[in-house]
Each structure stands twice: as structure tokens, then as C-alpha cells.
A = this chain, B = another copy of it.
């Protein structure tokens, strides 16, 4: 349906999305021009025209900042650049560890965070279920008691984090599960990031 964008157009669209998601308000032509080092607004104008023609955006003519994304009727926009984005991502180091990873964009998500779609029920002791989306920030230092996403022994877990003297303890919400103690034995242990939120879409669950 949608026609392919060129590299430049993709970059501009990405910047557009970034601004809308991050700042909450679409940029002006001048904003975009400045960001890409264009000396001229008309350049951006023409790119927007091209992008609009390909169906990715809609313009409210004569309106300042009147650019809308056609993409999102929904909460989550499956990023078309998924493959490439994941490549630059901390997660790629463990591409197989987490069952299935999708990187949708959610509005107003902190810029440095990413989303993981949880598949499998291995995380349900943290009230997180298959199909849920966890919002993970890899740049936040987890404090004791916070929930982290971590990899150990090729499995992904979401648990409460406690740092002790010589070890790290990962505690489940569910008391049935015993805490996992991380010490030197675990060579393949890595904190992926701090889980700052969970989202679950009900849309498709109707069976």
C-alpha cells in the first residue's frame, strides 16, 4: 500500500515523529531545516510534499505546525525501521535471549527508552503477562526495590532488583518463587534496563 520512502525522507519522517512524540508538538519547517542544516525552508517543504504524496503524513494547509501522522490511529506504531533500529540497540547483544522483540513507538515515551513485547509466561510473577509491553529504560540505574529486565543464562526475567554486598538479588513479586542470587557464578548475567512501565492492549485479545 504505502510507497517506500527514500533515505532522506525517512530521516525527516523520523525526526518528525521524534518531535511529535518527544516534544508533543510538530516542528515548523524552519525547525526541521535547522536540524538537518538546510539553509532553506523550502527544501523541507518539498520533502514534506513528497512524504505526504506517499501517504505517510497529512498536512493541514496554512496551519502552522499542521502536520499529522497518518500512521497512528493506534497507540503503537510498529516501527517500519525496526530491523535497523534494533541493530543500534543494547538489546541486539542478546538477540535470541528474549523470546520476541518488537519495537513499537508509544507516545510520550522517554526518548531513551524502548519497549519490549513479552512473549511467554516466564514473567508473570511480576504481573506481566504474555503480550504485554514493558517499557524499559537502559540508562537508568536501578535502585533497590525497582523492577528490572535482565538476562541470565539465556532467559529474560523481570524482577525486583536488590543490590547486596557481593551479590545481586532478583526477587519475584510472587512469594512462590525463590529469589535469584546473582554472584560470580553467573557469567552471562546482564541488566538490560529499568522497567518503568507496562502496557497491555486489549484490542486483539477478544477470542
Smallest CB gap from A207: residue in B: B145
C-alpha gap A197/B125 in the complex (Å): 20
Contacts of A146 in B (CB 8 A): 202, 205-206
Contact of A144 among B143, B203, B206 (CB under 8 A): B206
Q: Give A197's nearest chain B residue, CB to CB.
A: B201
- For A108, A143, A206, the residue with the greatest tally of chain B CB atoms inside 10 Å of its CB is A108
Closest to A129 in B: B127
Among residues of B, the one whose C-beta sits closest to the C-beta of A28 is B64
Residues of chain B lying within 8 A (CB to CB) of residue A147:
202, 205
From A5-13, A18-26, A51-59, A79-87, the one touching the partner chain is A18-26
Docked Cα-Cα span, A21 to B24, in Å, equals 9
Residue A157 is within 8 A (CB to CB) of chain B in the complex: no
Q: Are B145 and A108 in touch, CB under 8 angstroms?
A: no
Say yes or no for A198: interface residue by CB 8 A criterion. yes
Give chain A interface residues in 152-194, CB to chain B under 8 Å.
194
Chain B residues positioned under 8 Å from A20 (CB to CB): 24
How many angstroms between the C-alpha atoms of A68 and B23 in the bound complex?
9
* CB neighbours of A202 from chain B (8 A): 146-147, 194-198
Q: Which residues of B contact A75 (CB under 8 A)?
A: 108-110, 197
Q: Is A94 on the interface with B (CB-CB < 8 A)?
A: no
User: Judging by beta carbons under 8 Å apart, are A197 and B200 in contact?
Assistant: yes
Q: How far is the CB of A48 from chain B (nearest CB, A)?
A: 16
Q: A106 in the interface, Cβ–Cβ < 8 Å?
A: yes
Q: Does A107 contact B (CB under 8 A)?
A: yes
> Does any Cβ of B come within 8 Å of A65's Cβ?
yes
Q: How far is the CA of A60 from the CA of B195 in the complex (A)?
A: 31
The 6 closest A-B pairs by CB, nearest first: A107-B108, A145-B206, A198-B200, A146-B206, A64-B64, A107-B107
- Which residues of A are at the interface with B, using a C-beta cutoff of 8 A? 20-21, 24-26, 28, 64-66, 68, 72-73, 75, 106-110, 127, 129, 143-147, 194-203, 205-207
